[in-house]
A and B are shown apart, each in its own frame.
Chain A
Amino acid sequence: MQCSDFYKIADSYLGDELLIETNHEVISHLEACPACHRELAARRELRVQLRAAFANSAALQPSPAFTNRLHMQLRAKALHETTTVTWGLWMAIAASILLVFTVGLLATRQTTHNTPIEIVDSGRGNRNEATQVTSPSPQPNSTSDAVNLFMAEAAELAAGDHRDCAIDYKLAEKPIPLEEAGRRYDRAYINLASVVMSQQNQLAGGVQFVEAHSCGFNGKRFGHIILKEGKHLVSVLVTDLDDAPAEIAAQSSPEARQPIVNSSVEGYQVSYFATAKHGIFIVSDLEAARNSQIASILAPSVYEHIKRTERLI
């Protein structure tokens, strides 16, 4: 082998791309030729320098927050049921929810005769403030149905926001800081993250804060707190109910509180409740009972916080 031959195949030799026989020829040549030996060392050195530069450059390393978030998003996507639900099926689901609520309300009214209704957390045997329902003034069924239907639709939007923002991170519009959104759009967002995180100890289960921002989904703006429990992402979403039918807002007294409703949208668990002017949604792929429990723990403080901001409006 001549030096010129070696130069032509030196890169392939370094990349271990040569046939065994050719490799032997190169090795023999290198043993006899110091110049080519130095040339090979120079090429090896270049590779070493390049690898070191890539490995050491801080600018080329991913942030732990990014890798952590992507890991959780992928996990949620992998384990989440992604069955496509047709519009017809949605209508059937909405009708079922409506029917369940109507029957439920009729049943409770028949048995309580205007006494305050309380839903007790049977798991702990204690009265659960979050799921307490204050005695509703008798209302026409049509209004209750309208409220339920409206909230069910809002829950679908919340689940969609959780999916596109927290899980897939593919919203058309970039989220903005929560406090900025609080100044620009809705005072309820101001300090919302602190209020949610004030319940961290009560939530237990290793619930951690991931991020807080305001984002939009299908034209609906949300205050969005993302938490994680283990490998599950949990969204706390707050949105105004300004677009609710006028009769709903008119009949919602500032002290009225809806029960926590648990539903499943696109495989996500959605637990939600409302103040007079806001809907609060807890969305995750946790077990239904745990999602509801988180909602119950967060509800009193979040409810009080939002009610306070509503009084200021």
Chain B
Amino acid sequence: MFKRTRQDERAREWSAFEQEAMPHMDDLFRIAKWLMRDRGEAEDLVQETFMQALQSFHRYEQGTNARAWLVTIMYRTRSKRIRQASRLRLVSDVDERIAETVAFEPPTPQGINDEEVLRALEHLPSQFQEVVVLSDVEDFTYKEIAETMDVPIGTVMSRLSRGRKLLRAELSKYANEQGIRSAGADK
């Protein structure tokens, strides 16, 4: 009797998890693959993330942003792995200074293909890449990014602003080399 009740409870929990969390697996993989670069490592990270999410699903507040909750777990899992591997990389002041030097807003080139956009993004310092991806690709709010990355909202805003500037500078550089027209350029 008790066993049957427990099984029913487990089935209900799984059904809720399947409904709330599973639809975000592809999104999480894309972020993981971007962060880890390696497919195998990305799969490991996504797997560990979902396993942990399943274990702590009772803490998830139904109706809130499940994707942000999962991405937060993924970032923490990744941070833990980096710490365990003693590869902790602090935010580089040099990177921050480089971003500061991008004083103007270069126009956004058109006619650039997807691979070129991703290549340009790869040239950004990682802390800028991550904020840009979470904001512009995943549509996270500043607050969600701050919680996910465990940084103040002000840091999110400044990194996002600098990251976008750097990205436009990269794209603009590429467009100039290829002779591609830019959107947003004064005509």
A interface residues, Cβ below 8 angstroms from B = 7, 11-12, 15, 17, 35, 38-39, 41-43, 45-47, 49-54, 56-57, 59-62, 66-67, 70-71, 73-75, 77-79, 81, 168-169
Q: Can you offer 28 A-B residue contacts whose CB atoms are under 8 A? A: A7-B105, A11-B157, A35-B186, A38-B185, A41-B184, A42-B183, A43-B108, A47-B136, A49-B108, A49-B117, A50-B132, A51-B136, A53-B121, A54-B34, A54-B118, A57-B115, A60-B34, A62-B25, A66-B29, A66-B43, A67-B26, A70-B25, A71-B22, A74-B50, A74-B51, A75-B14, A168-B51, A169-B47
Which of the residues A35, A50, A79 comes within 8 Å of B121, measured between beta carbons?
A50
Establish whether residues B186 and A57, one from each chain, have CB atoms under 8 Å apart when the complex forms.
no
Further contacts, 7 of them, CB under 8 A, given A38-B186, A81-B6: A42-B107, A43-B108, A52-B114, A52-B117, A73-B51, A78-B10, A169-B47
CB distance from A74 to the nearest CB of B (A): 6
Q: Is B46 close to A, CB under 8 A?
A: yes
Q: Is B7 close to A, CB under 8 A?
A: yes
CB distance from A96 to the nearest CB of B (A): 18
Task: Knowing A35-B186, A61-B29 are in contact, say whether A46-B164 is a contact too (CB < 8 A).
Answer: yes
Task: Provide the residues of chain A in CB contact with B136, threshold 8 Å.
Answer: 46-47, 50-51
CB distance from B131 to the nearest CB of A (A): 11
Q: Is B94 close to A, CB under 8 A?
A: no
Task: Provide the residues of chain A in CB contact with B171, threshold 8 Å.
Answer: 46
Task: Provide the residues of chain A in CB contact with B91, threshold 8 Å.
Answer: none
In the complex, the chain A residue whose C-beta lies closest to that of B47 is: A70
Task: Provide the residues of chain B in CB contact with A56, threshold 8 Å.
Answer: 114
- Which residues in chain B, 1-35, are within 8 Å of chain A measured between CB atoms? 6-7, 10-11, 13-14, 17-18, 22, 25-26, 29-30, 33-34
Q: Is B142 close to A, CB under 8 A?
A: yes
CB distance from B19 to the nearest CB of A (A): 12
CB distance from B49 to the nearest CB of A (A): 10
Task: Provide the residues of chain B in CB contact with A51, threshold 8 Å.
Answer: 136-137
B interface residues, Cβ below 8 angstroms from A = 6-7, 10-11, 13-14, 17-18, 22, 25-26, 29-30, 33-34, 43, 46-47, 50-51, 54, 105, 107-108, 110, 112, 114-115, 117-118, 121, 132-133, 135-137, 141-142, 157, 160-161, 164, 167-168, 171, 182-186
In the complex, the chain B residue whose C-beta lies closest to that of A78 is: B14
Task: Knowing A11-B161, A17-B141, A39-B105 are in contact, say whether A62-B43 is a contact too (CB < 8 A).
Answer: yes
Which of the residues B30, B43, B161, B185 comes within 8 Å of A54, measured between beta carbons?
B30
Task: Provide the residues of chain A in CB contact with B17, threshold 8 Å.
Answer: 74, 78
CB distance from B43 to the nearest CB of A (A): 5
Which of the residues B10, B135, B185 comes within 8 Å of A15, measured between beta carbons?
B135
Tell me the bound Cα distance from A39 to B7 in angstroms: 57
Tell me the bound Cα distance from A81 to B133 in angstroms: 38
Task: Provide the residues of chain A in CB contact with B133, threshold 8 Å.
Answer: 50, 54
Tell me the bound Cα distance from A7 to B26 in angstroms: 34
Establish whether residues A77 and B51, one from each chain, have CB atoms under 8 Å apart when the complex forms.
yes
Which of the residues A11, A74, A79 comes within 8 Å of B10, measured between beta carbons?
A79
Which of the residues A41, A78, A169 comes within 8 Å of B54, measured between beta carbons?
A78
Tell me the bound Cα distance from A304 to B106 in angstroms: 72
Tell me the bound Cα distance from A7 to B183 in angstroms: 17
Tell me the bound Cα distance from A169 to B45 in angstroms: 12
Establish whether residues A39 and B184, one from each chain, have CB atoms under 8 Å apart when the complex forms.
yes
